């Protein structure tokens, strides 16, 4: 029965086509990946003769030379070689199984298929296809085909399946299937090569380069990109015949086809989900039109980018027309490979996508006819998924369409994928039922249920409240608890009655100066009791207060007072503000005795303004936000309900009054009978002061901007602030790591994350951090009487998980911007989802809902940035820079070149004939802008980098240069360690010991990081304050030395490299030169819990007798070790001579009855091996000294030469005095002599041995020589380095990793 296919002469090897090459390289990147396996399962319902089927299949494969290849790399690149395929039963890759006796035959079959599909194929051996035929019922069969995508595409599958059925029919009828209809693989290769050499190819390259150069940046639904994974996730649904019919009808109406309608719908979906009018879809094309490839089963298909412009005003008909014309245009250039377009644009690799979702429509008339048995094809894998691929199959079986959403699991979860599919299908249904000539604004993404959730359910916050003001409840509280402490300012405490009385007197005076409801009073006072009195007084008089920071530049203060036109200004001392003609009332010397201490009468309503706070403005001028009493009253009533304050609570006031967080700090405690504790002016920047104040003043409640919280947590005393009952964060994104660190240090203190702009009365959302949570910290749910909307560009609600712009509505909205009705109208717009006549505020913040109704903050939609919690409009800085006469154009940017380290950088180009000087720019800017808006670095450019479409390319602006690393070399191991840590934290190649941390770009955040690292490396306690006071490695080393052993001790017999830690200490013994600083590299690598003590030679620190035997030296060290750790088990390590010593000490300790649980030797060899070697002379000693510092000796002849080398290379040893250096040389010689005379005894235990395994002159050294002196085993690890390199990176990393693992085992 089995007949070999007709012998056809064929070329035995061919190059790959461009299409295949792309896949070959992808496979080579991850040879074990099964991602490029494609598979289909054809369900055959009817009688089938398996033997005939196998024969038909074999013949068909015989006709398909593209399938019968293996692919191997050759000197000419990868080539495909023809392979022989054995007949069925003799090796033909067909697995046949009758599963009818299984409980669920289909399930068993599909499990087998899934398993097979997960197996990678070896391209070099082949075959690259496999079949299976399962009988799952008496007349029910499953034909499984799995093929590597590199040899076959979807169209090719259809050709193969139909030919196999044709052959089967002929065989079943006893006839001849006729000649093969297939063309040859060689024709594909020839056609491909001809194209690649053609002018058309060049023209296509130019076309695509121009067409996608300025494409939108984030085309995908996930908002990020990832490399394709080894697997994909799939969500499958059917589009029933009803909907399919309606889609076809709609397609006819807009003169398009149904696939084009699906693509237009997908474009609309992507546009809304990404918030971008620009969309790029990927459209797979079969690439065979008008080509011989129509008859060749092989890999031909390509993907082309389809760019679309989707605005809310576009109609669906217009969008579909764009799709039709876009595909028509793309089709003319479709032969140019997708991978080549990406390569031309420099997009290879992760993080740079060209297209978003792929819409892959496969309308192939597939159904092969196996002698009349009906069939149904199911795709199991369509190949690797870059982002999201929507596969739509029309099998022409009258059952509608099948739609698979295939997602990259690095970007989508199954639930997300299902949600995207459900929404897409609902959207498709709504579009099919709508007039295609309506603007797309009529359509939105969420399903009906999602819409109800995000608009209604998540916003059920209505709460009736009495019509009160900010001040009323404070006055009522003062009447209730007149004698309770209201305010603590340093040593001064005011009772509620005292505070109220003083405020009333001042209020009455202010009334006499014209202050009343609707008027504004400027306040320019440092944080003090006087400030609180003035705040209350303005409110009591009915006025709104305008906080002015007296430290602001005069220019800005003048602008704000002119813009807000206050009635008067209250200051602490005369002359606090520049003279602008504004009446100034200085509290110092003001006699208020004529005014009674009773509440003044006032006609104040909740709608009157309570305060005006200025925020940075994008147009270059700050703007005043007017907040009414009702708004802030709502905010404080909600806060009291959510976090009840009682009489015993003490709230820290540390936020400057110009920032709105201060509003709740000032007023909330006074409304509830709690006590307000004022931080000293400027104290809010000093974490050590704050920690002390919180403890000493028994503060229960306080606020931190997250970046300041991070700094605070690095303060050792932060963990002792256990009297805190609640801590609030707001002002910028709270990092999960910060929240976790907080939970670790203060496990019993709840941490709450709040969010809100000044325009909505401080905060509008809240979230309680939970220690176990992961991922970004949400900003949470809406507060009372507040609604949140996440809206897409058409102002339609976004479903959960989809990012949009955050809008706020409800009772906390500000009245608007003072004196700026036009600006107010653009930011406070009609609330589309609220009661008629209400407003919503457009935050400019990107956000998304979580499934359970919390908001996640994702960033800004514009160039407004927050730097350490302070809101900054870059436009304002740019305007100030551009106003400088030396500058022609300017740009400002917050850079984060090191994670977590944000800094503001100004970029300028010079005006004609000018040469802008950064220092002069800084000075001039400081006269116009507050400190936090003055860039830390300025860069003068010849011109600004532009993107292909001529816009400023902010990402291409250069990193500001810094100069560091010059100067004096370290004097001690501490200096050396600190200089290295400075460099690591600052991201610099090196740092000199006299370079100041903050001059090199250090910030307080980086200082916090430095403190953590220094603690880890040196085990010493230090605070950020220490870094401020001693900002250079040299100064810091001195400061640390003063508190924790003097610097002289660096040469003492016992060197505490890290004195503290809860683990059993590790003792490290000095090499030949007697100094143990070389082990400092172990510290960071072994972690902060591992104490490390060095043993150093006598005679280094002071003149003393050198030991006369190795036994004597070891006994001395054993005694020193027992001083630190009186009892075992002991852990010892030694390098070189130190290893010999460590062994000797270990023996002594054992003989004294102690346990030694670790003996680690770093390239150390027993005395026997040295005995016959000459004792080193001075020259040898100098060589040894250099080795100690990690260098091989070069041309150095004298002690001076050696010293010069050490200095040039920046070694810590270079700081040794001449006396010490001489001593070290003597010690080297003495140690060599003692070692040669030493007799080892036996150590009872295992030895961890590290060999410097690079070839060396002393080839007679062998670790095996230890064997007589070790009762246990010698566990050897070869390190690929020379002896002197062992204590240097990267070799020390390897050693420390082994060592750490061993220590970990010992720790249990």
Q: Which residues are catalytic?
A: 1283
231 is written with which tokens? 């697997």
**What contacts 984, CB < 8 A, 6 or more positions away?**
1013
**In terms of CB distance, is 390 or 1142 closer to another protein?**
390
- 797 sits in the region (left: phi over 0; alpha: psi -120 to 50; else beta) called beta
Stretch that binds another protein, among 257-265, 431-439, 1226-1234, 1277-1285 (CB under 8 A): 257-265
1227 alpha carbon, distance to own chain's centre: 52
Q: How far is the CB of 396 from another protein (least distance, A)?
A: 8
Instruction: Say if CB 93 and CB 127 are below 8 A apart.
Output: yes
294 binds another protein (CB under 8 A): yes
291 binds another protein (CB under 8 A): yes
Q: Where are the alpha helices (DSSP H) in 917-1056?
A: 918-926, 973-986, 1004-1018, 1024-1029, 1033-1043
Strand locations in 815-868, DSSP E?
816-817, 828-830, 839-849, 855-860, 864-867
What size, in residues, is the chain? 1308
- Bridge partners of 626, per DSSP, are 612, 816
Q: Report the distance separating Cα 1266 and Cα 1145, nearest Å.
A: 15
Instruction: Say if CB 363 and CB 224 are below 8 A apart.
Output: no
Q: How far is the CB of 261 from another protein (least distance, A)?
A: 11
**In terms of CB distance, is 80 or 379 closer to another protein?**
379
Q: Which of 361, 531, 652, 1022 binds another protein (CB under 8 A)?
A: 361
Q: How far is the CB of 432 from another protein (least distance, A)?
A: 17
Q: Which of 92, 143, 258, 1170 binds another protein (CB under 8 A)?
A: 258
**In terms of CB distance, is 225 or 244 closer to another protein?**
244
Encoded one letter per residue, x for contact with another protein by CB under 8 A and - for no contact, window 311-330 reads -------------xx-xx--
Encoded one letter per residue, x for contact with another protein by CB under 8 A and - for no contact, window 1035-1054 reads --------------------
606 binds another protein (CB under 8 A): no
Q: How far is the CB of 376 from another protein (least distance, A)?
A: 19
- Tell me the C-alpha to C-alpha distance, in Å, between residue 248 and each of 243, 256, 325, 445: 9, 9, 18, 22
**In terms of CB distance, is 291 or 311 closer to another protein?**
291
Q: Which of 34, 259, 804, 970 binds another protein (CB under 8 A)?
A: 259
Instruction: Say if CB 907 and CB 893 are below 8 A apart.
Output: yes
288 binds another protein (CB under 8 A): yes
Stretch that binds another protein, among 291-299, 339-347, 440-448, 1287-1295 (CB under 8 A): 291-299
Q: How far is the CB of 263 from another protein (least distance, A)?
A: 12
Q: Where are the alpha helices (DSSP H) in 513-604?
A: 529-540, 554-564
Stretch that binds another protein, among 32-40, 256-264, 819-827, 1180-1188 (CB under 8 A): 256-264
**In terms of CB distance, is 392 or 1213 closer to another protein?**
392
Q: Which of 174, 178, 290, 644 binds another protein (CB under 8 A)?
A: 290
682 is written with which tokens? 């400027």
Stretch that binds another protein, among 74-82, 362-370, 477-485, 530-538 (CB under 8 A): 362-370
**In terms of CB distance, is 361 or 411 closer to another protein?**
361
**Torsion 103-105-110-116 (CA) sign:** positive
Q: Which among 662, 653, 705, 699 is positioned nearest to 680, based on CA atoms? A: 653
Q: Report the distance separating Cα 432 and Cα 891, nearest Å.
A: 47
Q: Which among 533, 536, 525, 535 is positioned nearest to 572, based on CA atoms? A: 525
3-state secondary structure of 1177: coil
384 binds another protein (CB under 8 A): no
**In terms of CB distance, is 121 or 256 closer to another protein?**
256
Q: Which of 104, 365, 588, 953 binds another protein (CB under 8 A)?
A: 365
Q: Which of 111, 118, 206, 292 binds another protein (CB under 8 A)?
A: 292
182 is written with which tokens? 């297939």
Instruction: Say if CB 1234 and CB 1107 are below 8 A apart.
Output: yes
Q: Which of 28, 224, 255, 1208 binds another protein (CB under 8 A)?
A: 255
Stretch that binds another protein, among 283-291, 665-673, 1176-1184, 1191-1199 (CB under 8 A): 283-291
Stretch that binds another protein, among 292-300, 471-479, 1055-1063, 1173-1181 (CB under 8 A): 292-300
**In terms of CB distance, is 106 or 291 closer to another protein?**
291
Q: Which of 289, 565, 959, 1297 binds another protein (CB under 8 A)?
A: 289
Instruction: Say if CB 312 and CB 793 are below 8 A apart.
Output: yes
Q: How many binding residues for another protein (CB under 8 A)?
A: 23
**In terms of CB distance, is 289 or 438 closer to another protein?**
289
Q: How far is the CB of 930 from another protein (least distance, A)?
A: 60
Q: How far is the CB of 328 from another protein (least distance, A)?
A: 4
Q: How far is the CB of 322 from another protein (least distance, A)?
A: 13
**In terms of CB distance, is 54 or 306 closer to another protein?**
306
207 binds another protein (CB under 8 A): no
Q: Which residue has the tokens 């690259």?
A: 128
Q: How far is the CB of 20 from another protein (least distance, A)?
A: 22
157 binds another protein (CB under 8 A): no
Q: How far is the CB of 447 from another protein (least distance, A)?
A: 29
Q: Which of 14, 23, 256, 1034 binds another protein (CB under 8 A)?
A: 256
- Side by side, which strands form the sheet with 937-941? 887-898, 901-910, 937-941
Instruction: Say if CB 760 and CB 631 are below 8 A apart.
Output: yes
Q: Which of 239, 286, 536, 904 binds another protein (CB under 8 A)?
A: 286
Q: Which among 1269, 1285, 1288 is positioned nearest to 1142, based on CA atoms? A: 1269
Q: How far is the CB of 314 from another protein (least distance, A)?
A: 18
Q: Which of 257, 360, 785, 1144 binds another protein (CB under 8 A)?
A: 257
Question: What is the residue-wise DSSP string for 1037-1096?
Answer: HHHHHHHSS-GGGGGSSEEEEE---SSPPEEEE--TTS--GGGGHHHHHH-TT--EEEE-
267 is written with which tokens? 């474009």
**In terms of CB distance, is 321 or 1122 closer to another protein?**
321
Q: What DSSP element (H or E) covers 571?
A: strand 568-571
Instruction: Say if CB 370 and CB 206 are below 8 A apart.
Output: no
**In terms of CB distance, is 259 or 782 closer to another protein?**
259
Q: Report the distance separating Cα 131 and Cα 85, nearest Å.
A: 13
3-state secondary structure of 545: strand
Stretch that binds another protein, among 286-294, 639-647, 757-765, 924-932 (CB under 8 A): 286-294
Stretch that binds another protein, among 10-18, 78-86, 253-261, 695-703 (CB under 8 A): 253-261
Question: What is the residue-wise DSSP string for 336-383?
Answer: S-HHHHHHHTT--STT--S-S-EEEEE-------BTTB-EEEEEEE-S
331 binds another protein (CB under 8 A): yes
- Tell me the C-alpha to C-alpha distance, in Å, between residue 790 and each of 312, 733, 787: 16, 18, 10
Stretch that binds another protein, among 363-371, 841-849, 995-1003, 1177-1185 (CB under 8 A): 363-371
b vs e for 954-964, b when ≥16 Cβ sit within 10 Å of the residue's Cβ?
Answer: beebeebeeeb
332 binds another protein (CB under 8 A): yes
Binding site for another protein (CB under 8 A): 255-259, 286, 288-292, 294-295, 324-325, 327-328, 331-332, 361, 363-365
């Amino acid at each position: 029965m089995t007949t070999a296919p007709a012998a056809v002469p064929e070329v035995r090897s061919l190059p790959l086509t461009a299409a295949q090459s792309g896949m070959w390289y992808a496979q080579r990147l991850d040879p074990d990946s099964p991602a490029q396996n494609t598979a289909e399962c054809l369900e055959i319902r009817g009688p089938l003769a398996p033997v005939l089927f196998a024969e038909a299949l074999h013949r068909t494969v015989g006709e398909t030379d593209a399938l019968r290849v293996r692919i191997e790399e050759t000197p000419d690149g990868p080539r495909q070689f023809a392979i022989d395929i054995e007949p069925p039963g003799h090796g033909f890759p067909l697995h046949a199984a009758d599963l009818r006796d299984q409980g669920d035959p289909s399930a068993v079959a599909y499990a087998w298929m899934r398993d097979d599909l997960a197996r990678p194929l070896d391209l070099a051996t082949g075959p690259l296809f496999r079949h299976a035929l399962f009988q799952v019922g008496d007349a029910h069969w499953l034909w499984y085909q799995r093929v590597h995508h590199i040899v076959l595409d979807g169209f090719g599958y259809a050709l193969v399946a139909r030919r196999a059925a044709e052959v089967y029919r002929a065989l079943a009828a006893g006839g001849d299937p006729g000649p093969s209809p297939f063309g040859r693989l060689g024709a594909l290769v020839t056609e491909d090569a001809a194209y690649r050499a053609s002018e058309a190819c060049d023209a296509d390259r130019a076309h695509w380069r121009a067409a996608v150069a300025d494409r939108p940046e984030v085309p995908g639904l996930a908002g990020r990109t990832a490399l394709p994974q080894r697997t994909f996730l799939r969500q499958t649904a059917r589009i029933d015949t009803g909907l399919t019919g309606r889609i076809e009808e709609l397609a006819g109406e807009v003169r398009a086809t149904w696939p084009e309608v699906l693509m237009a719908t997908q474009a609309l979906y992507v546009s809304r989900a990404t918030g971008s009018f620009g969309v790029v879809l990927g459209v797979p094309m079969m690439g065979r039109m008008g080509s011989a490839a129509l008859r060749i089963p092989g890999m031909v298909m390509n993907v082309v980018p389809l760019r679309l412009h989707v605005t809310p005003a576009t109609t669906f008909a217009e969008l579909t027309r764009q799709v039709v014309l876009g595909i028509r245009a793309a089709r003319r250039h479709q032969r140019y490979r997708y991978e080549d377009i990406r390569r031309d644009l420099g997009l290879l690799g992760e993080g740079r996508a060209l297209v978003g979702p792929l819409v892959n429509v496969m309308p192939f008339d597939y159904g092969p006819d196996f002698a009349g048995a009906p069939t149904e094809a199911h795709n199991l894998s369509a190949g690797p998924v870059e982002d999201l691929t929507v596969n739509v199959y029309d099998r022409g079986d009258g059952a509608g369409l099948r739609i698979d959403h295939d997602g990259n699991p690095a970007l989508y979860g199954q639930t997300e994928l299902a949600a995207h599919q459900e929404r897409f299908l609902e959207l498709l249904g709504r579009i099919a039922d709508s007039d295609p000539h309506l603007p797309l604004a009529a359509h939105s993404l969420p399903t009906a249920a999602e819409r109800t959730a995000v608009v209604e359910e998540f916003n059920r916050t209505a709460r009736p409240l009495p019509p009160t003001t900010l001040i009323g409840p404070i006055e009522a509280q003062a009447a209730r608890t007149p004698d309770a402490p209201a305010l603590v300012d340093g040593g001064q405490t005011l009772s509620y009655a005292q505070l109220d009385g003083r405020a009333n007197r001042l209020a009455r005076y202010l009334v006499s100066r014209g202050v009343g409801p609707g008027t504004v009073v400027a306040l320019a006072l440092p944080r003090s009791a006087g400030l609180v009195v003035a705040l209350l007084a303005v409110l009591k008089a009915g006025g709104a207060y305008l906080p002015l920071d007296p430290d602001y530049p005069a220019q800005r203060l003048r602008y704000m007072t002119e813009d807000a036109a206050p009635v008067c200004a209250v200051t602490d001392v005369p002359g606090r503000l520049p003279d602008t003609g504004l009446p100034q009332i200085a509290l110092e010397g003001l006699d208020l005795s004529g005014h009674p201490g009773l509440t003044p009468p006032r006609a104040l309503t909740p709608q009157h303004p309570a305060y005006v706070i200025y925020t940075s403005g994008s147009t270059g001028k700050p703007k005043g936000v007017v907040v009414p009493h009702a708004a802030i009253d709502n905010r404080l009533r909600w806060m009291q309900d959510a976090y009840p304050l009682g009489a015993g609570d003490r709230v820290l006031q540390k936020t400057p009054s110009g920032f709105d967080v201060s509003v709740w700090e000032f007023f909330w405690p006074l409304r509830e009978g709690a006590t307000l504790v004022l931080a000293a002016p400027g104290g809010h920047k000093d974490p050590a002061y704050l920690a002390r104040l919180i403890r000493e003043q028994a503060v229960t409640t306080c606020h931190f901007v997250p970046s300041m919280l991070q700094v605070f947590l690095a303060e050792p005393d932060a963990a002792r602030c256990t009297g805190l009952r609640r801590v609030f964060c707001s002002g910028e994104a709270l990092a999960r790591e910060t929240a976790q660190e907080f939970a670790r240090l203060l496990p019993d203190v709840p941490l709450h994350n709040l969010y809100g702009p000044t325009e909505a009365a401080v905060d509008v959302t809240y979230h309680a951090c939970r220690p176990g949570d992961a991922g970004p910290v949400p900003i949470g749910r809406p507060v009372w009487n507040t609604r949140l909307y996440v809206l897409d560009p058409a102002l339609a609600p976004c479903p959960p998980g989809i990012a949009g712009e955050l809008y706020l509505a409800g009772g906390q909205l500000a009245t608007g911007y003072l004196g700026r009705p036009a600006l107010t109208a653009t930011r406070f717009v009609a609330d589309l989802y609220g009661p008629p006549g209400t407003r919503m505020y457009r935050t400019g913040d990107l956000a998304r809902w979580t499934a359970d109704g919390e908001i996640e903050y994702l960033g800004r939609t514009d160039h407004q940035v927050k730097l350490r919690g302070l809101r900054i409009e870059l436009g304002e800085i740019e305007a100030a820079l551009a106003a400088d006469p030396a500058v022609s154009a300017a740009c400002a940017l917050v850079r984060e070149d090191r994670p977590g380290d944000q800094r503001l950088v100004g970029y300028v180009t010079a005006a004609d004939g000018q040469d802008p000087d950064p220092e002069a720019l800084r000075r001039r800017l400081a006269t116009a802008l507050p400190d936090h808006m003055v860039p830390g670095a300025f860069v003068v450019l010849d011109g600004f980098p532009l993107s292909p479409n001529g816009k400023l390319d902010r990402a291409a602006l250069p990193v500001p240069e810094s100069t560091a690393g010059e100067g004096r070399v370290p004097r001690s191991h501490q200096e050396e360690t600190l200089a290295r840590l400075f460099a690591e934290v600052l991201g610099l190649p090196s740092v000199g010991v006299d370079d100041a941390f903050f001059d090199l770009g250090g910030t307080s955040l980086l200082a916090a990081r430095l403190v953590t690292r220094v603690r880890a490396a040196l085990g010493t306690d230090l605070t950020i304050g220490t870094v401020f006071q001693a900002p250079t490695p040299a100064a810091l080393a001195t400061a640390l030395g003063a508190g924790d052993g003097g610097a002289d001790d660096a040469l003492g017999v016992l060197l505490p490299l890290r004195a503290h830690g809860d683990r059993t200490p590790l003792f490290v013994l000095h090499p030949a030169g007697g100094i143990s600083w070389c082990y400092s590299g172990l510290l960071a690598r072994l972690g902060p819990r591992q104490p490390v003590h060095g043993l150093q030679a006598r005679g280094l620190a002071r003149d003393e007798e050198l030991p006369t035997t190795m036994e004597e030296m070891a006994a001395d060290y054993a005694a020193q070790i027992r001083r630190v750790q009186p009892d075992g088990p002991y852990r010892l390590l030694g390098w070189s001579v130190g290893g010999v010593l460590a062994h000797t000490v270990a023996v002594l300790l054992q003989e004294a009855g102690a346990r030694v649980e670790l003996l680690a030797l770093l390239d150390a060899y027993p005395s026997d091996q040295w005995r016959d070697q000459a004792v080193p002379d001075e020259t040898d000693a100098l060589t040894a000294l250099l080795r100690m510092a990690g260098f091989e000796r070069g041309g150095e002849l004298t002690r001076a030469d050696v010293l010069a080398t050490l200095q040039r290379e920046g070694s810590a040893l270079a700081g040794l005095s001449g006396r010490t250096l001489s001593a070290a040389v003597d010690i080297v010689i003495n140690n060599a002599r003692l070692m040669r005379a030493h007799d080892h005894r036996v150590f009872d235990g295992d030895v961890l041995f590290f060999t410097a395994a690079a070839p060396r002159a002393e080839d007679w050294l062998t670790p095996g020589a230890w064997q007589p002196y070790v009762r246990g085993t010698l566990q050897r690890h070869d390190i690929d380095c020379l002896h002197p390199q062992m204590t240097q990176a990267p070799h020390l990393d390897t050693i420390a990793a082994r060592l750490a693992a061993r220590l970990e085992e010992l720790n249990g």
